[in-house]
Amino acid sequence: MTTSTTVSGDTPSVGAHRRRVRGAVLLLGGLAFALLLAAGGPAAAESPSPVATSTPAPSATPAPSPSPLPGGATPAPCPIPTPGLTPTPAPGTTPAPTPPPNLCPAPGPGDPGFDPITGLLSWLFTPIFQAIFLALVLIYNLVGDIGIAIVVLTVAIRLVLVPLFRKQIVSQRRMQTLQPELRAIQQKYRGDRARISQEQMRLYQERGVNPTAGCLPTILQLALLFPMYYAFSQGLQAPNIDSLLHVFGVQVTSVACYAATDPLAGCIDPTVRWLFDLNAAKPEVIFNPFNPANPASIGGISLLAILSAFLQLVQTRMVTPKTDDPQTRTQQRMFLFLPLISLVYGGIFPAGLFLYWIVTTIFSIVQQYLIVGFGSLFPLFGWTPRFALEHTPRFAVTAEHRPPSGGPQPATGPRGSAADRAAGTIRPSRVRGRTSRRGRRR
């Protein structure tokens, strides 16, 4: 995110919004592609099937995956999953349900079964996935409900990231206040991109604004979606999760599986009782008009996805700056359609992931309200409620002025401010002497 790439014919706000829209579309598209690509192979990869190994199976009939081992026992590095031993059904019979694989660490480079495309991504995110999954299990053991555990874990993560997100919101707010001065700089040095960039960076330095301060929290928030997706889609369905509960051979915690005798059930109960018995490990789909036979697919209508899109729309509108430029307003309308993309993935992503995203969006809305107030949320269809009139945020953003580095403070005068230097309307007066012939010396 640099300021030297703005087109001389557009205002800085238009260029910034174009880059935001383009970057957001690329990020969301890349994220969705990576999740869909990795959905075929788990982040915590399965162990090699006994069929492919030279050691024969101890018995012909596979036993169900064991529950977590007692505290004194030493667990295997990764229990063998049961899908490799499922017999092939006879013709004309209904195939038996396949038990889900056990939760195992993803194989790294050089290990058998390593996939250089999806496997590399899974291997890189395994430490983050294990940390998140361990925290989720610890909270689940305390509260006994996976839905409450997801909410508590999300709030804890956002509390840790409060300084970064506050810096992002403050930087965005100060960038909005600098738009008139940035436009004045661009008008004055039109056609000279190097000089425009130099003057803009000087203005940023004087006002204490970092144009790239908002990038890191967004990247972290998107990066957390990968381990969260695997924690809900696979961690909540695995019948044996003992391998991921050990760190360097030390068992951090243990879980008493709620249905240890059922080989088709996961160790952790994925049911959210207070959300109409919602299954957090599977997509929550009402119906699918495009594929009624398989509702859990692209195009499925999900209430959680609708609520998530609405909250993202509110959050985006709150931070959208007000402007009278028609071209900028067109860019802002395009930016407001990005939250609606989550409606497309409502039928394929697990409900736990949408629950996490809803809670983190609500947290962001509250944090933005405390710093910038309602922002541009009102008027809404020409209506502004009374409580939003002349509302002052509790932690309002104040202007910051820093002296320019590299020399003494310049003398204050009519050309001391950046706005006056950019606009160029105040010029030093010229002291003229007598110009008549009578006053000159020969």
* 209 found inside a domain: yes
CB 3 within 8 A of CB 315: no
* 87 found inside a domain: no
CA distances from 440 to 314, 433, 434, 437 (A): 73, 10, 8, 5
* 297 found inside a domain: yes
Residue 402 CB neighbours (<10 A): 11
Bridge partners of 301?
287
21: its two tokens: 């829209």
Task: Please state, in angstroms and rounded to a whole number, the distance separating the CA atoms of residues 83 and 49.
Answer: 8
What does each of the 442 residues of the chain score in pLDDT, given as a tens digit?
433 333 344 444 445 445 554 555 555 555 554 554 444 444 444 433 333 333 433 443 333 444 444 344 444 446 544 444 445 666 766 666 777 888 888 777 777 777 777 677 777 888 999 999 999 999 999 999 999 999 999 999 999 999 999 988 888 888 888 888 988 998 999 889 999 999 999 998 888 788 877 788 888 888 899 899 999 999 999 999 998 899 988 999 999 998 888 888 899 999 999 999 999 999 999 888 888 888 877 778 899 999 999 999 999 888 887 777 777 777 777 777 888 888 888 889 999 999 999 999 999 999 999 998 888 888 887 888 888 888 888 888 776 655 555 544 444 444 455 555 555 544 444 545 555 555 555 4
* 3 found inside a domain: no
* 313 found inside a domain: yes
* 82 found inside a domain: no
Residue 250 dihedral angles phi and psi, to the nearest 5° = -105, 125
CA distances from 146 to 16, 101, 139, 199, 356 (A): 40, 20, 8, 53, 11
* 42 found inside a domain: yes
Torsion of CA 306, 312, 315, 320, to 10 degrees: -120
Counted domains in the chain = 1
Domain, as residue range, for 297 = 12-46+100-388
* 407 found inside a domain: no
Task: Please state, in angstroms and rounded to a whole number, the distance separating the CA atoms of residues 323 and 113.
Answer: 55
Burial grade of 332 (CB within 10 A; 0-12, 13-18, 19 or more): buried
Nearest to 423 by CA among 203, 264, 211: 203
Burial grade of 291 (CB within 10 A; 0-12, 13-18, 19 or more): middle
Q: Which uninterrupted H or E stretch holds 151? A: helix 146-160
Bridge partners of 246?
251
